[in-house]
Chains A and B, each alone.
Chain A
Amino acid sequence: MSLLEARKIHKSYGNKFMKQHVLEGIDVTIDKGEFVTIMGASGSGKTTLLNVLSSIDRVSHGSIVINGQEITGQKDKQLAEFRKHHLGFIFQEYNLLDTLTVKENILLPLSISKTDRKEAQQKFKVLAEELGIQDVQNKYPNEISGGQKQRTSAARAFIHEPSIIFADEPTGALDSKSASDLLGKLSGLNETREATIAMVTHDPVAASYSSRVIFIRDGQIYTQLHKGGQTREAFLKDIMKTQGVLGGVSYEH
């Protein structure tokens, strides 16, 4: 069953005379419980795609349906409402509020949706344990490590059980150990909670944790790889091979 369905999405910046086309008619379908990675070189439009899919940015034209709801024509307020209930976010720069403790940061999405206090505490306890951050729950973001920050960010994305979680370069600022640790946790949550995750990265190792990789080039889908039954190592090799082909600058004279 498809959870997200994007059809022919175009995105361009600039005015009539100087138009910069970033996305040129992309079709994406993400099924429930999938862990999808979007890959591409810098400037290929992968972050823009993620922003558009996650309703933070608006498409120039095209349609995006999440959970049966068309989100392209909606007003700001409706979109905020939608994000509140259906979407979770993990960013490269963690995007935690400096003035709130770890626990307060994580519980933030629940306070928007006015979840019952007891239930919120319960959810927090379970998730903090799963992500291994119960020890730092009363610390401020500047007192914990990058890995812990990103796990906090992940916990915040998962806590309100959104339909889909968008992760933008979640491992970009982490060292390799914290990165693999986080990715292990993410794919674990993907399996145990059947959470749907859409991640943008340019790191093939990170991509190899997912079940499907979509390659983007110059605003269009270049190709897709499915993990299928292969091991992570084999999948990683596939990804790197594709990336090798994709990454080279081609001179088409």
Chain B
Amino acid sequence: MSINQLILRNLKKNLKNYYLYVFALVFSVALYFSFVTLQYDPAMSQDGSVKGSAGLMVASVLLIVIVAVFLLYANALFVKRRSQEIGLFQLIGMTKNRIFRLLTIENLIIYFGSMAVGIFIGFAVSKLILMGFFKIVNVDEVADLHFSMAALAQTLIVFAGIFLLIMATMYIFIRKQSILSLFRVTSSTQGKVKKLSIWEHIMGILGIVMIASGYYVSTQLFEGDITTINGLFIAMTFILASTIIGTYFFYKGSVRFVSNLLRKRKAGYMNINEVLSLSSMMFRMKSNALLLTVITTVSALAIGLLALSYISLYSAESLAENRSPDDFSITNEEKALAFSETLEDEGFDHSYRQVEVLQARFNVEDILDVDLEDMNFNVENTTIPVISETAVPELDLEAENMMMTGYNDIMQSYISLKDNGEVEWLSENDSVKLSYQGLREDYVISSHYTVGGLPIGVVSEEQFMDMKEKLEPSIYTGINLEDDSRNEAAFQLFEEAGLADGIEHRSQWYVETSQKQNMGAVMFIVAFLGLTFLITSGCILYFKQMDEGEDEKDSYTILRKLGFTRGDLLRGIQGKQLFNFGVPLLIGLLHSYFAVKSGWFFFGNEIWTPMLMVMGVYTALYSIFGLLSVLYYKKVIKEAL
């Protein structure tokens, strides 16, 4: 038989073995190609309002890294599976170089074959993705795609590079092996079965303690205890380091430590679930500690970023309401009148609302909860916008009382106001004491007055008149359209009147739309990367399980001979998979929960719905891989006897 025939025969025989590798390849090529196609698509770059292309660029680099690691890993697993065959070739006198050449040709055919398929699928899918993208960012455009040669070239170059990398690792693998070790590689268990050492006990406890302390500090991060930028930086570094190292220790030691405790309590009497899950986990998780740590950290990152960007997308509406409580907020009376007339002329029915705003100085030391010395903020003399009670619906204040209205969560996390107390209005030569009555939620005037987040003071009409004598009021005008669906058309007029430049005047509709577009683009990219990561890490865990399944086949044979039914074993496997997939997922979710919890208010004002939705979708997709692996085990168990 000539060497070419051998290659062909091998290929045919191994295709069954390779199908997952092929799947991994097709999948990553499709993903990458569709991504690059999007990147080169004119619709992406021409549309200036969608600042996606720079983000896409960064993402595509990240994508290469993920895909490369994934493919290298998959390849390593499959070479390991064929080590016996390689040993046999050596035994019959082939040189290592010859074997390498043989495998290279074989790989070449499979690799570039699946690449062609991947590119085809990628092209088909990219249209779908583009449609989804336009949907998210609210761009009304028909998604039509052209086959981009540039994208094709880039994909080919990148994957050829990865191929070289794979072949290099394969070469090293073959080089390093002797005939004997090649025969043995599949049967040698990962990590010798040993007793728990003291070091592992320490590591086990340390892992849990470190994660917990990281979480604790993260909840304290923006509570106001840490007020300097330096302190914040140190705290963040600490959180990152302690959770990541803690996660590593957790897999390396804690899992074993805890399962060992459970096991001791059983005094040797273990049921099938415990036999399959506890004991195998104890020995497997340790050797996979690094891999699992990486998977956990990056999935936490993906979930966290997705949740945050979804939070900001989700909060776009309320953000717009904070910035501009009315459809149009204009801070200049004449311009407001002119704009109102233009609207009238063009046939837009609208209401008109004016509020007088004073910028008054106050001593608010008494009602502040935190001392803000470091924050460049003088509590004894601070400027606050003040309006009269008449501007706030359903509010009636006593003469000497004052309320605050309008707050957001960022401000709330830095400055917390007491429920009541005393404030002092400081005019030029004297001061008036007012009794502070509490905080209301809604913003009544546009963010131009509130410098982004300060609350607005509300005083009684009489008091307001007094203050007005000493201070020059400015007039806020809010214009509300009768028909909300005509906002876009009205915004055209707003723009033509020159009101859309700068941040003095605002359109609620425009703030919301632009926020949605920006965050939509970010969200899309993060989602794409997150999905890639989810699928690749799911695949890696699945491959790992396949590998373990083959290794443990003997155990299943023993157990079945002893009289465990297939159902018994399968139940045990389900328990085991619940741990294998569930533990990294759970830790990832917890990490991201605490990450999101600590700083979500910078991104929006609704946390639970968007975060839980992201987590739910992630978990659901992730579970698919767990289910697939159970199905695979089912097959292994069936064949075990």
B181 at the interface (CB under 8 A from A): no
> In chain A, residues 97-113, which have Cβ atoms closer than 8 Å to a Cβ of chain B?
97-101, 103-104, 106-112
Closest 5 CB pairs of A and B: A84-B563, A83-B563, A103-B268, A99-B279, A80-B565
Among the stretches B270-278, B291-299, B617-625, the one at the interface with A is B270-278
* Chain B neighbourhood of A95, CB < 8 A: 554, 557-558, 561
A84 to B567, CA, bound (A): 14
> In chain B, residues 441-491, which have Cβ atoms closer than 8 Å to a Cβ of chain A?
none
Number of A-B residue pairs at CB separation under 8 A = 91
CB atoms of B189 and A89 under 8 A apart: no
A70 at the interface (CB under 8 A from B): no
A109 to B560, CA, bound (A): 11
Chain A, 112-156, contact with B by CB distance < 8 Å: what is the 0/1 string? Answer: 100001001100100000000000010011100000000000001
A233 at the interface (CB under 8 A from B): no
Contact of A107 among B269, B283, B563, B565 (CB under 8 A): B269
Shortest beta-carbon distance from B262 to chain A in Å? 13
Contact of A99 among B268, B282, B562 (CB under 8 A): B282
Q: Look across to chain B and name the residue whose beta carbon is closest to the beta carbon of A114.
A: B271
CB atoms of B565 and A77 under 8 A apart: yes
Pick the most buried of B269, B554, B559: most chain A CB atoms within 10 A of its CB.
B269
B91 at the interface (CB under 8 A from A): no
A193 to B587, CA, bound (A): 52
A81 at the interface (CB under 8 A from B): yes
Known: A77-B565, A98-B193. A111 touches B271 (CB 8 A): yes
Shortest beta-carbon distance from A67 to chain B in Å? 15
Known: A76-B566, A77-B567, A81-B565. A140 touches B560 (CB 8 A): no
B602 at the interface (CB under 8 A from A): no
Known: A89-B562, A100-B275. A124 touches B268 (CB 8 A): yes
Known: A83-B561, A111-B272, A142-B192. A99 touches B280 (CB 8 A): yes
CB atoms of A56 and B641 under 8 A apart: yes
A99 to B189, CA, bound (A): 10
Known: A76-B566, A80-B563. A97 touches B268 (CB 8 A): no
Known: A99-B193, A99-B282. A137 touches B272 (CB 8 A): no
A137 to B268, CA, bound (A): 9
> In chain B, residues 184-213, which have Cβ atoms closer than 8 Å to a Cβ of chain A?
189, 192-195
A7 at the interface (CB under 8 A from B): no
CB atoms of A56 and B561 under 8 A apart: yes
A195 at the interface (CB under 8 A from B): no
CB atoms of B269 and A83 under 8 A apart: no
A197 at the interface (CB under 8 A from B): no
CB atoms of A83 and B562 under 8 A apart: yes
Q: Look across to chain A and name the residue whose beta carbon is closest to the beta carbon of B555.
A: A97
Q: Look across to chain A and name the residue whose beta carbon is closest to the beta carbon of B271.
A: A111
CB atoms of A112 and B272 under 8 A apart: yes
B19 at the interface (CB under 8 A from A): no
B564 at the interface (CB under 8 A from A): yes
B153 at the interface (CB under 8 A from A): no
* Chain A neighbourhood of B189, CB < 8 A: 98
CB atoms of B279 and A117 under 8 A apart: no
CB atoms of B562 and A109 under 8 A apart: yes
* Chain A neighbourhood of B149, CB < 8 A: none
Chain B, 2-32, contact with A by CB distance < 8 Å: what is the 0/1 string? Answer: 0000000000000000000000000000000
A104 to B563, CA, bound (A): 16
Shortest beta-carbon distance from A38 to chain B in Å? 18
A141 to B271, CA, bound (A): 19
A61 at the interface (CB under 8 A from B): no
Contact of A80 among B269, B275, B564 (CB under 8 A): B564
Query: How many chain A residues touch the partner (CB < 8 A)?
Result: 36
B267 at the interface (CB under 8 A from A): yes
* Chain B neighbourhood of A85, CB < 8 A: 563
CB atoms of A104 and B268 under 8 A apart: yes
A77 to B568, CA, bound (A): 10
Chain B, 485-517, contact with A by CB distance < 8 Å: what is the 0/1 string? Answer: 000000000000000000000000000000000
Pick the most buried of B559, B563, B564, B567: most chain A CB atoms within 10 A of its CB.
B563
A87 at the interface (CB under 8 A from B): yes
Shortest beta-carbon distance from A84 to chain B in Å? 3
Q: Look across to chain A and name the residue whose beta carbon is closest to the beta carbon of B560.
A: A80
A83 to B641, CA, bound (A): 13
26 A-B pairs with CB atoms under 8 Å apart are: A56-B561, A56-B641, A76-B565, A76-B566, A77-B565, A77-B567, A80-B560, A81-B563, A84-B562, A84-B563, A85-B563, A87-B563, A89-B562, A95-B554, A95-B557, A98-B193, A98-B555, A99-B279, A100-B279, A104-B270, A104-B275, A108-B562, A111-B269, A111-B271, A112-B564, A142-B192
Q: Look across to chain A and name the residue whose beta carbon is closest to the beta carbon of B263.
A: A104
A137 to B269, CA, bound (A): 12
Pick the most buried of A56, A98, A107, A156: most chain B CB atoms within 10 A of its CB.
A98
Known: A107-B268, A107-B269, A117-B269. A97 touches B563 (CB 8 A): no
Shortest beta-carbon distance from A193 to chain B in Å? 19
Q: Look across to chain B and name the residue whose beta carbon is closest to the beta carbon of A141.
A: B193
A83 to B562, CA, bound (A): 6
* Chain A neighbourhood of B561, CB < 8 A: 56, 83, 89, 95
A162 to B580, CA, bound (A): 35
* Chain B neighbourhood of A120, CB < 8 A: 269
* Chain B neighbourhood of A137, CB < 8 A: 268
Shortest beta-carbon distance from A105 to chain B in Å? 9
* Chain A neighbourhood of B282, CB < 8 A: 99
Q: Look across to chain B and name the residue whose beta carbon is closest to the beta carbon of A84.
A: B563
A95 to B557, CA, bound (A): 9
CB atoms of A109 and B563 under 8 A apart: yes
A140 to B196, CA, bound (A): 12
Shortest beta-carbon distance from A199 to chain B in Å? 16
CB atoms of B564 and A110 under 8 A apart: no
> In chain A, residues 149-167, which have Cβ atoms closer than 8 Å to a Cβ of chain B?
156
A101 to B283, CA, bound (A): 13
A121 to B268, CA, bound (A): 9
Shortest beta-carbon distance from B212 to chain A in Å? 29
Q: Look across to chain B and name the residue whose beta carbon is closest to the beta carbon of A83.
A: B563
Q: Look across to chain B and name the residue whose beta carbon is closest to the beta carbon of A85.
A: B563
* Chain A neighbourhood of B275, CB < 8 A: 97, 100, 104, 108, 111
> In chain B, residues 326-349, which have Cβ atoms closer than 8 Å to a Cβ of chain A?
none
CB atoms of A101 and B566 under 8 A apart: no
Chain A, 64-97, contact with B by CB distance < 8 Å: what is the 0/1 string? Answer: 0000000000001100111111010100000111
Shortest beta-carbon distance from B278 to chain A in Å? 9
Q: Look across to chain B and name the residue whose beta carbon is closest to the beta carbon of A156.
A: B562
Chain B, 243-277, contact with A by CB distance < 8 Å: what is the 0/1 string? Answer: 00000000000000000000000011111100100
Shortest beta-carbon distance from A204 to chain B in Å? 27
* Chain A neighbourhood of B271, CB < 8 A: 111
* Chain B neighbourhood of A56, CB < 8 A: 561, 641
* Chain B neighbourhood of A89, CB < 8 A: 561-562
> In chain B, residues 274-318, which have Cβ atoms closer than 8 Å to a Cβ of chain A?
275, 279-280, 282-283
CB atoms of B279 and A97 under 8 A apart: yes
